[in-house]
């Protein structure tokens, strides 16, 4: 999941290779297909990202009445137009807008979030002291300058599931989803809740004992969690960990793998380790690797430096790169909050 905003940015315009009346607009590293002559390089625009829900008047202003996704035809999704990916929309800037400004509220744009299924919800209670939500993993296309060319990174597969947060605080077991956890709410233990079922099945709390106040971040997937099942039976969801924080600090990647390996906590296979560059980014494409049978399109990859570091733009450095074919697939690219 990444932060959501309609930001005012400068754009570049390029010819469309397969259409005389269309052009390609580039905002950060996102591409949109636009009418030829409507925009120019260097122009300031508002970039409206995927999963945006637009008010009727904005849909009309953009000339997209009846052309967007969702039951109300007001949701932005990635599409392919004349062979080129169009990811989001661009809107000409109002005279009073300044570059870098967030105009989400002014435009009345909201983020679309799928309803949380019953088996992933539950009775909530306040999180204990020391609890913290998980990092907002931003899209590399929005922040293309954060990862440094040649710096040592690792890339792991991004699996289509539901982010699962759990931890031990003074010996108390606590568990939550990403959305609930961000609001400092945890889910009371429940025999029917899928997150708790996974925690019990994998003995995750027992495997964390002895680490003090600790939080483990992972993915629950398959088993009816999302529309991609990775070959996992519906009543037996699978789990892997992707991050660990002890004493409020995220562990460097090698330390994280060492702790999980010693304690039998499952991890995804590592897709790439080496200098950040084209070879790393190529890992976002292709088929999923978890099942060993390439059952589905790969959702993408998560890239992080081997050594933890922070950037003034986004904070903790960890970004995602999404497979373009995954964005265009028939199912919903849902991320439950």
From first to last of the 337 residues of the chain, give the pLDDT tens digit: 568 999 999 999 999 999 999 999 999 999 999 999 999 999 999 999 999 999 999 999 999 999 999 899 999 999 999 999 999 999 999 999 999 999 999 999 999 876 666 556 688 999 999 999 999 999 999 999 999 999 999 999 999 888 999 999 999 999 999 888 888 999 999 888 889 999 999 999 999 999 999 999 999 998 777 788 899 987 788 999 999 999 889 999 999 999 999 999 999 889 999 999 999 999 999 999 999 999 999 999 999 999 999 999 999 999 999 999 998 886 555 554 4
Structure tokens at 211: 């680490």
Domain that holds residue 52: 7-111
Structural domains of the chain, count: 2
**Same structural domain, 98 and 215:** no
Domain contains 333: no
User: Are 128 and 86 members of one domain?
Assistant: no
159 and 184 co-located in one domain: yes
Which of the listed residues 67, 82, 111 is the one where a domain comes to its end? Answer: 111
For 226, counting Cβ atoms within 10 Å of its Cβ (0-12 exposed, 13-18 middle, 19+ buried), the class is buried
Domain closes at, from 76, 111, 146: 111
Q: What value, to the nearest 5°, has the Cα angle with vertex 167 and ends 163 and 168? A: 170
- Single pTM value for the model: 0.86
**286 and 217 share one domain:** yes
- β strands within 170-318, DSSP E: 172-177, 185-187, 214-221, 238-246, 249-250, 270-275, 300-305, 310-311, 315-316
User: Are both 67 and 140 inside the same structural domain?
Assistant: no
How would you write 48-114 as a 3-class SS string? ECCCEECCHHHHHHCCCCCCCECCCCCECCCEEECCEEECCEEEECCCCCCCCCECHHHHCCEECCC
CA 174 to chain centroid? 23
Q: Give the closest residue to 31 by CA, choosing from 100, 88, 112.
A: 88
Asked whether residue 204 falls in the same domain as residue 99, the answer is no
Same domain as 14, residue 89:
yes
Q: Checking phi first, is residue 61 left (phi over 0); if not, alpha (psi -120 to 50) or beta?
A: alpha
Q: Do 107 and 132 lie in a common domain?
A: no
Answer with the one of 62, 81, 111 that is the final residue of a domain. Answer: 111
Same domain, 182 and 308: yes
């Amino acid at each position: 999941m990444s932060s959501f905003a309609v930001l005012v940015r400068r754009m570049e315009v390029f010819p469309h290779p397969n259409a005389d009346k269309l052009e390609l607009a580039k905002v950060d590293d996102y591409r949109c297909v636009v009418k030829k002559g409507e925009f120019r390089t260097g122009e300031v625009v508002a970039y409206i990202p995927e999963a945006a829900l637009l008010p009727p008047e904005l849909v009309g202003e953009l000339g997209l009445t009846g052309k967007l996704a969702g039951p109300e035809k007001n949701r932005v999704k990635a599409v392919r137009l004349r062979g080129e990916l169009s990811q989001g929309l661009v809107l000409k800037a109002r005279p009073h807008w300044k570059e870098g400004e967030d105009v989400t509220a002014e435009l009345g744009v909201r983020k679309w979030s799928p309803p949380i299924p019953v088996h992933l919800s539950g009775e909530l209670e306040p999180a204990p002291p020391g609890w913290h939500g998980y990092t907002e993993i931003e899209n590399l296309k929005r922040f293309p300058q954060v990862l440094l060319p040649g710096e040592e990174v690792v890339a792991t597969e991004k699996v289509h599931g539901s982010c699962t947060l759990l931890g031990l605080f003074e010996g108390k077991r606590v568990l939550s989803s990403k959305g609930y956890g961000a609001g400092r709410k945890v889910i009371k233990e429940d025999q029917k809740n899928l997150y708790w079922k996974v925690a019990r099945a994998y003995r995750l709390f027992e495997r964390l004992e002895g680490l003090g106040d600790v939080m483990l971040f992972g993915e629950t997937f398959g088993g009816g969690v999302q529309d991609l099942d990775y070959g996992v039976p519906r009543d037996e969801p699978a789990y892997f960990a992707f991050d660990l924080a002890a004493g409020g600090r995220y562990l460097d990647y090698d330390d994280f793998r060492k702790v999980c390996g010693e304690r039998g906590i499952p991890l995804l296979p590592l897709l790439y380790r080496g200098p950040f560059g084209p070879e790393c980014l190529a890992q976002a494409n292709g088929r999923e690797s978890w099942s060993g049978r390439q059952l589905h399109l790969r959702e993408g990859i998560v890239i992080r430096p081997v050594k933890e570091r922070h950037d003034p733009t986004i904070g903790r450095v960890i970004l995602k790169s999404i497979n373009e074919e995954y964005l265009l697939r028939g199912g919903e690219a849902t991320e439950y909050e």
